[in-house]
């Protein structure tokens, strides 16, 4: 059986709660791992990479602006890691065109601006999760 695992790197505790609730309500993943900064995301993924057979996430969701390493630095690490085909979605408050351009240039698969309204935020997380978990065919390893 294939496990549908997600990794979410989000430093804002309120956003983590909302993301967790939206994903649980939509029943999109068998497992969702949360980390609170970019370095924790790299450490988590490095641990998976060093252990043969450990299941990588079907999608990685990154906040853009996080402590220690930002989302673009984590994205760059993923693309260099040998597991670079994993889909990466930037879920961020920034709608700056320069951030959007940089994210796609670095290899992001999607860039989602966090809606400020609670219902819209929940809907956006549910929709992005649904596409990447249920609709998209994950990379074959």
Q: Give the angle 87-25-114 at the CA atoms, nearest 5°.
A: 55
Q: What local confidence, expressed as pLDDT, does residue 116 receive?
A: 84
φ, ψ for residue 90 (rounded to 5)?
Answer: -90, 120
CB atoms within 10 A of CB 50: 8
Q: What is the pLDDT of residues 33-74, one digit of tens each?
A: 999 999 999 999 998 877 776 788 888 999 999 999 999 999
Domains of the chain: 5-135 (3.40.50.2300)
Residue 121's contacts (CB-CB under 8 Å, 6 or more residues apart) are 18, 22, 114, 115
Where does the pLDDT of residue 135 fall: very low under 50, low under 70, confident under 90, or very high at 90 and above?
Answer: low
In whole angstroms, what is the distance from residue 10 CA to residue 64 CA? 9
Where does the pLDDT of residue 1 fall: very low under 50, low under 70, confident under 90, or very high at 90 and above?
Answer: very low
pLDDT at 128 over 50: yes
């Amino acid at each position: 059986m294939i496990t549908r695992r997600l990794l979410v790197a989000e430093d804002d505790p309120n956003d983590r709660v909302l993301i967790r609730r939206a994903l649980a309500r939509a029943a999109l993943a068998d497992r969702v791992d949360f980390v609170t900064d970019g370095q924790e995301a790299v450490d988590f993924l490095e641990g998976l990479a060093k252990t043969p057979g450990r299941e990588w996430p079907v999608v990685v969701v990154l906040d853009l602006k996080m402590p220690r390493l930002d989302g673009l630095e984590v994205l760059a690490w993923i693309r260099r890691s040998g597991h670079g085909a994993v889909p990466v979605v930037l879920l961020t408050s920034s709608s700056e065109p320069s951030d959007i351009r940089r994210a796609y240039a670095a290899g992001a698969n999607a860039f989602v601006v966090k809606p400020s309204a609670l219902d819209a935020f929940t809907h956006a997380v549910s929709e992005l999760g649904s596409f990447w978990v249920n609709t998209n065919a994950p990379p074959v390893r």
